[in-house]
Amino acid sequence: MADKIFRVNMTDLSTSIEDVPADWAGHGGRGLTSTIVAAEVPPTCHPLGPNNKLIFAPGLLSGTTASNSGRISCGSKSPLTGTIKESNSGGTSAQRLARMGCKALIIEGQPQDDNWYSLSLTSDGITISKEEELVGQGNFAVVEAVERRFTDKIGILSIGQTGEMQMSAANISVKDPDSHLRSLGRGGLGAVMGSKKIKFIALDAGDHKVDIADPDAFKAANKTFTKALVDHPVSQALGTYGTNVLVNIINEAGGLPTRNFTAGQFDGHEQISGETMHDLIVERGGKPKHGCHQGCVIQCSQIYNDLKGNYKTSGIEYESIWAMGADCTVDDLDQIAEMDHILDDIGIDTIETAVAFGVAMEGGVLDFGDSKEMIRIMTDEIAKGTPLGRIIGNGAANVGKTYGVTRVPVVKNQAIPAYDPRAIKGIGITYATSTQGADHTMGYTIATEILGVGGSADPLSKEGQVELSRNLQIATAAIDSTGMCLFIAFAALDNGACLPALVDMLNARFGISLTAADVTNLGMSILKTEHAFNQAAGFTNLDDRLPEFFATESIPPHDAIWDFSGEEIDAFWNF
């Protein structure tokens, strides 16, 4: 069964199943969503208007037995940044889409009336239905109801109340194997789904399987690849402590942004650390180790229970804990887990929202460390769409403008995550030059600057950082196209057998003969496609800059400032 493009037009409520254009055949995941956005979305369109499109694509290896290949990409023009956007997530949707033969789902147009809708996809086609019952509901209620209507095997993509209200920080939830949630987190893609008036998308792949051109070669390559992942010590640490193992090391390095980016170390770091979280999870009968998708051999997710031993949240990431914790000076993991659960339910990005709270705290809206008031605002204001709720739900930059705060940590309007670019300079190059606004996952220089994976670089020196960020951004764009979790990169950077095995799997899946150089070229061409879209949307090199305060306010303990010139940053694009 050849893969197809599934298309939905929400203006006239029509659907079609189309052959894959030759130009798109070699793409998957991010490469495909960005290629389609570049081909079909007018760069100057309003992100929430009828001319923007929302595209979902499984990775090239999603739906196969390849370890860690269950990432789904979602692309669009972002209502938060105004740039092209790709956000990816685990969960069960990538595998469902790939197995039903859907190479990409393109949602275009906009209903002319006030009705809400749902989509249901099978290998036979797409059904559009009016939706009334679940409008106004949070994501957990949506998952429960949709599973009742279909089966508990159904894949689900959904938005919460914030997506319905088209807040710029709204995300799209992806059901995980335990009917909990992962998120297509950044850039306001939930608002785009809300603008199309789609509450949820149900994905039923039936018993279909993905075709493999050379099953024996695929199996052999997957064995080598899996061994490289399992053997790498970073994978083992991720399975024990989750990504939150980073709190203590980033704090020790003086790069943990604290109290709205005014210090690089947080007194309460130990209370919110991965080590403390691991002990609490074990003590309360949760699971320190958990996969966000079937086939994950790293298992960095976890099940976090409350004091009474009942489920509270899962897959709580370092960046979320940092944002609600150090950045807002909250040192209580239970309060952070409660907030994580609420934000997942109402469907809004934890990083953007918590950084927005940090700016609001500086603006005097609430006190630093007041997690009770944060929870009240999330529940009574953001979820209900009050004026204050909308101010925060539209992101950190919006809060800064509203309350006259100048220390606003954003690039292209997207909140800077958990690594201070003054004390860890390479990541600042990634924030500045990423095609999607500030995003650590676009080129994770932390691996080399702090963790000593893939070589080493002095985080307080500018030397080699532009090249490091460039190489990682190119490699990441390629990895994001395969459906692979980015955490394969730790093994890929250190183990020479890992990447060739990944290329072998691509070749065995499709019966092609890619080389490692082809994969690098793919990464370069994706970045250039995304960059060209942004330029056509009106962005220039002057948008590739960090906020002024990073150059004028030094951060303790290293008293570091951001000291890259514009010319040095712009050299990033010399490839």
Partner 1 sequence: MRVQVKLFAFFREGRFIKEERELPEGCTVGEVVDALHIDREEVGVLMLNSRHCQFDTNLHGGDIIAIFPVIGGG
**Tokens 């209507």 identify what position?**
149
Indicate the residue among 74 and 300 with the shorter CB distance to partner 1: 300
Is the bond preceding residue 47 a cis peptide, omega within 30 degrees? no
What stretch of H or E contains 59? none
Indicate the residue among 232 and 412 with the shorter CB distance to partner 1: 232
Indicate the residue among 442 and 508 with the shorter CB distance to partner 1: 442
Indicate the residue among 192 and 300 with the shorter CB distance to partner 1: 300
Q: Which residues bind partner 1 (CB under 8 A)?
A: 233-234, 237-238, 240-246, 248-249, 252-254, 270, 274-275, 300, 318, 440-441, 444, 446-447, 450-453, 456, 458-460, 486-487, 490, 557-558
What b/e sequence results for 514-535 when a residue is b if at least 16 CB atoms lie within 10 Å of its CB, and e otherwise?
beeeebbebbebbbebbbebbe
Q: CB of residue 466 vs partner 1: minimum separation in angstroms?
A: 20
Indicate the residue among 161 and 226 with the shorter CB distance to partner 1: 226
Q: CB of residue 252 vs partner 1: minimum separation in angstroms?
A: 5
Indicate the residue among 80 and 472 with the shorter CB distance to partner 1: 472
Q: CB of residue 506 vs partner 1: minimum separation in angstroms?
A: 23
Listed in sequence order, the residues at least 6 apart from 169 whose beta carbon sits closer than 8 Å to its beta carbon are: 80, 162, 188, 348, 349, 352, 353, 356, 393, 394, 395
Indicate the residue among 309 and 557 with the shorter CB distance to partner 1: 557
CB 442 within 8 A of CB 34: no
Q: CB of residue 462 vs partner 1: minimum separation in angstroms?
A: 16
Q: CB of residue 411 vs partner 1: minimum separation in angstroms?
A: 18
Cα separation, 358 vs 390, in Å, equals: 16
Q: CB of residue 100 vs partner 1: minimum separation in angstroms?
A: 31
Indicate the residue among 13 and 451 with the shorter CB distance to partner 1: 451
Cα separation, 520 vs 464, in Å, equals: 19
Number of Cβ within 10 Å of residue 570's Cβ equals: 17
SS (H, E, C) 66-94: CCCCCCEEEEEECCCCCCEEEEEECCCHH
Q: CB of residue 379 vs partner 1: minimum separation in angstroms?
A: 29
Residue 397, helix vs strand vs coil: helix
Cα separation, 80 vs 167, in Å, equals: 9
Indicate the residue among 166 and 465 with the shorter CB distance to partner 1: 465
The beta strands (E) that lie in 213-324 are given as 287-290, 301-305, 311-314
Percentage helix, strand, coil for the chain under 3-state DSSP, each rounded to 5: 45, 15, 40
Q: CB of residue 260 vs partner 1: minimum separation in angstroms?
A: 21
Q: CB of residue 239 vs partner 1: minimum separation in angstroms?
A: 11
Q: How crowded is the C-beta side of 564, counted as CA atoms within 13 Å? A: 32
